[in-house]
Amino acid sequence: MQDETDKLVSVREHLGYQAPLVTATGGEIGELVRLAHELTIDELFGGPLADSGLDRDRLDEILVYCAERRCIDEKATCQGCKRRSQADGFAELKDFVRAHARIDIEDGSGAYVAGEGERVSSFATFDEFYRSWAGEEYWFWARRVLRKLRHGIRRAHIQGEAVAGEGETPAVLLIEPQLADNIGMVARAMANFGLDDLRLVAPRDGWPNERARIAASGANYIIDDAKSCPDLSEATGDLHYLCATTARQRDLRKPVLTPEQAVTEMARRIAEGQRCGILFGREASGLTTDEVAEADALVMIPVNGRFASLNLAQSVLILGYAWILARGNASLGRATTYERPREAGFHFGKDTPARREDLNGFLEQLENDLDAAEFFRPPERKTISVRAIRTMFQRMNATSHEVRTLRGMLKSLRRRREER
């Protein structure tokens, strides 16, 4: 029998409940999975695991424990895992709130006091609270990290990598897609905006299809994981909420939503543990009225009313764009090993904003040189002219390097005049 100290993962009481703990770190396996999911393997071993004594093979074994959910047999759970919420009896958001004395939202948007329980929790934003109260599917994250550990990080322009756990994004359902190329372009549009779940209902040319893989242009993981179903009933069997896209008005008593409204509703339901889907019709004829009738709501995209038909991939792209905006986790442009995600606004890069004393030094130098060149004419307008020049340069939000460059330019011009 293996000695307890030799085990990579041991189940012990932690924070008042049975938890699987990583022997090398003393922390819960869920925390290790979260770090491994957020960091590259090199960053993980160079940082949090630097002094742990773990190597890649041992990390692999620990992740397998989580990926295979061996904790179920051992009646153990991790803080922050969806199984922990289930063990606590949090079937709905109201159950979670009721168990708390206080829930703090750190960005200042408010504090929610339940008063019936003893727990105290805090979240960075209300959106994070709404999305994460039920916990994360750490076992799904562990599977992704295992793939990364065993096969390396696949470059986005070659294969890509899913960004969300199972059920965390709306499923994209294509009814009887005719062209494999269109399926591939839909997969690419999905990858652009973090949608991972593709379902095909009776694709005309069969499935799998190599032409779809080629057209996906790097979104191969979506093609690989796509499910082909014989009918709509099987494709939607596990969904709680379904939206159908249409350009034609239908005589049905159902809510009509814009893309923004639709994804907001789906995000709310997904946060509650529901699964959602968006239904797209055939390239040539769209959805039948009977198929639309299966949906809970209709989605109509604002278009030119005289030319309302959209390409299949374009429709998916628009809904995907609305989804990633609603989630608030988009990156402006690509993010790679050497390029960090961007936010809107002015970026100084490696430079810094110019100090007031450096900018004033430049302005004094410029004023003296302009005085020497008799620029201020008539003299009584000098005050107004100086004020206008200072306002112009202060408005430019110059960096330290730019101010040094400007001073160097003035110095060079003065030297040339003196040489004459």
Boundaries of every domain in the chain: 1-86+134-153, 91-132, 155-327, 356-419
pLDDT of residue 157: 39
Query: Splitting the chain (420 residues) into consecutive groups of 10 residues, what average pLDDT does each group show?
Result: 61 84 88 84 83 87 90 88 83 80 74 69 73 78 79 46 78 94 94 93 89 84 92 94 91 92 94 94 90 95 86 95 83 55 65 88 92 88 92 89 91 84
Both structure tokens of 112: 């929610």
At residue 38, the pLDDT reads 78
User: Cβ–Cβ contacts within 10 Å for residue 250, how many?
Assistant: 16
Q: How far apart are CA 257 and CA 246, in angstroms?
A: 11
From the number of C-beta atoms within 10 Å of its C-beta (0-12, 13-18, 19+), residue 117 rates as middle
Q: What is the pTM of this model?
A: 0.51
The CATH number of domain 356-419 is 1.10.8: yes
pLDDT of residue 215: 85
Residue 192, token pair as written in the block: 């652009």
Instruction: Kindly report the CATH number that applies to the domain delimited by 155-327.
Output: 3.40.1280.10
